[in-house]
Amino acid sequence: MSNLKKDKRPLEIPKPTFERLKKYLALLLQEESEYISSEGIAEKLNITPEQVRKDFTYINIKGKPKVGYHIPPLINELSELFGIGVMDNIIIVGAGNLGSALAKYAGFKKIGVRVVAIFDNDPVKIGKFVGELSVLPFSEENLKRVIKRFKVKIGVICVTEESAQEVANILVRNGIKALWNFAPVTLKVPPGIVLENQDITTGVLTIKHLLEKK
Amino acid sequence: MSNLKKDKRPLEIPKPTFERLKKYLALLLQEESEYISSEGIAEKLNITPEQVRKDFTYINIKGKPKVGYHIPPLINELSELFGIGVMDNIIIVGAGNLGSALAKYAGFKKIGVRVVAIFDNDPVKIGKFVGELSVLPFSEENLKRVIKRFKVKIGVICVTEESAQEVANILVRNGIKALWNFAPVTLKVPPGIVLENQDITTGVLTIKHLLEKK
């Protein structure tokens, strides 16, 4: 993509559009055909084709009449938006079921993420294998070494809500720039640190709401 | 809440507002104080107080000047919106790490969800305990019995993307009304069936985007 084109991209994408763009990308990565129409995307995601077309104006992608969008450049544009071309090494703290599920998650590679270490302080878990990774003791020494060696910026918090803030503090103190938090608790982080809370139960609230309305 | 008040509630809440209302509820359930200001909510969720106040107009909640919002009625209103007062029994298919994490998730009770069974077809997993539940063989006979006995409407799909569509078909065929899908695949469901895809990796895309911009 040329710089000229880059400059024409609106600087701020509205949050709802941004969230939908993620969904489009997930969908496109699953597609096997070469073209897809806005109707095709819309139907699968339960939104309107107009919405799809409007969202794609933010990434300078235009469809061709009767053919639709050419999928490879669309994936490229979205990948660039989400920084997927850059592979980010991440570390996971907490080798319980959720941490283990993430450590073994096959889809990370497609979105430019690689899990390089998983930590726990439970002696029963330390040394056991989760996928291809052996669980490391959660010590500042180990953390420092891994963060430095793999240039890790992103730390994933998969511990209990009681331990999450302490883990966050330790990660930030040792150089982590972004926290991806799965613990159901609101964390405090210093200015400049990116914090993204991932509540894995939000979907069921939508379901309950929709079932109630029926 | 009186019917009069209920009738004044706007029928359709915009999707972004709906998503934020979920976050407010999650936050409020963690609060220990009795009142909270829109500024207090906004700061913790990284949005503006104006946004918070605007969102609350959809659920007919008004704050008091200088005191803020009274938390208990606010939780009640949001609980009603999400059907939390009604306890929904759910079943999980797939007793891998993710299914197991969900089966043991402590926060479900607070949002009106109870896991009544977990199924798998792996002989190694069947009969083992996940929290308080013993993993059941994923047979239509077992499914039918559990769905009928516990009046289950919601089925959670925690299997591989290869098996997800087949599992969805079997669940719907046996009376499940809503699917909560954690497999990274787009499912096809008959009209009238609620489908909610939960992509647990979306958070890291936001993080990558924000780190790229720095």
Please write the tens of the pLDDT for every residue from B85-127.
Answer: 889 999 999 999 999 999 998 889 888 999 999 999 999 999 9
- Would you list the domain boundaries of chain A? 3-81, 88-197
- Contacts B200 to A, Cβ<8 Å: 102, 198, 200
- Contacts B203 to A, Cβ<8 Å: 180, 196-198
The predicted-structure confidence for A20-70, as pLDDT tens digits, reads as follows 999 899 889 888 889 999 999 998 888 899 999 999 988 888 888 888 999
Could you tell me which residue, A107 or B51, shows the higher pLDDT? B51
pLDDT attached to residue B210: 87
pLDDT attached to residue A121: 97
The predicted-structure confidence for B8-54, as pLDDT tens digits, reads as follows 444 578 888 888 999 899 889 888 889 999 999 998 888 899 999 99
Write the CATH number of the domain with boundaries B3-81. Answer: 1.10.10.10
Contact at 8 Å (CB) between B73 and B81? no
* Separation in Å, CA of A142 to nearest CA in chain B: 23
* Separation in Å, CA of B141 to nearest CA in chain A: 25
Where residue B213 falls among pLDDT bands split at 50, 70, 90?
confident
Longest dimension (CA), chain B: 61
Could you tell me which residue, A71 or B212, shows the higher pLDDT? A71
At the fourth CATH level, the homologous superfamily of domain A88-197 is: NAD(P)-binding Rossmann-like Domain (3.40.50.720)
Could you tell me which residue, B9 or A105, shows the higher pLDDT? A105
Contacts of B98 (CB under 8 A, 6+ apart): A97, A98, A101, B158, B182, B200
- Contacts A22 to B, Cβ<8 Å: 199, 202, 205-206
Q: Under an 8 A CB cutoff, do A27 and B177 touch?
A: no
The predicted-structure confidence for A129-163, as pLDDT tens digits, reads as follows 999 999 999 999 999 999 999 999 999 999 999 99
Considering CB atoms only, which of A44, A100, A180 is closest to B186? Answer: A44
Q: Count of A–B CB contacts within 8 Å?
A: 163
pLDDT attached to residue B60: 80
pLDDT for A183 beyond 70 = yes
pLDDT attached to residue B1: 40
pLDDT for A2 beyond 50 = no
Residue A38, φ and ψ in degrees, nearest 5: -60, -35
* Separation in Å, CA of A203 to nearest CA in chain B: 6
Percent of chain B's residues with pLDDT above 70? 94
Q: Under an 8 A CB cutoff, do B198 and A202 touch?
A: yes
Could you tell me which residue, A123 or B76, shows the higher pLDDT? A123
A49-56: long-range contacts, CB 8 A cutoff, minimum separation 24: A51/A20, A52/A24, A54/A17, A55/A17, A55/A20, A55/A21, A55/A24
Distance CA A75, CA A33 (A): 13
- Contacts B113 to A, Cβ<8 Å: 201, 204, 208
Q: Which residue has the tokens 């009767």?
A: A66
Average pLDDT over residues A104-111: 86
- Residue A204 CA, chain-centre distance (Å), reads 20
pLDDT attached to residue A152: 97
Distance CA A109, CA B106 (A): 30
pLDDT for B149 beyond 50 = yes
Residue A17, φ and ψ in degrees, nearest 5: -65, -45
Instruction: Kindly state the tokens that stand for A140.
Output: 């500042």
pLDDT attached to residue A11: 54
Give which of B97, B111, B153, B154 to mutate to test A binding, by max A Cβ within 10 Å. Answer: B97
Give which of A201, A213, A214 to mutate to test B binding, by max B Cβ within 10 Å. Answer: A201
Give which of B80, B109, B208, B214 to mutate to test A binding, by max A Cβ within 10 Å. Answer: B208
* Separation in Å, CA of A76 to nearest CA in chain B: 14
Contacts of B92 (CB under 8 A, 6+ apart): B99, B102, B103, B115, B117, B118, B119, B155, B156, B158
Q: Where are the alpha helices (DSSP H) in chain A?
A: 3-8, 15-30, 38-45, 49-57, 71-81, 97-103, 140-149, 161-173, 202-213
Instruction: Kindly state the tokens that stand for B36.
Output: 């909270």
Q: Under an 8 A CB cutoff, do A206 and B185 touch?
A: no
Which class for A210: exposed (0-12), middle (13-18), buried (19 or more C-beta within 10 A)? middle
Contact at 8 Å (CB) between A183 and A127? no
Which class for B170: exposed (0-12), middle (13-18), buried (19 or more C-beta within 10 A)? middle
Distance CA B60, CA B51 (A): 15
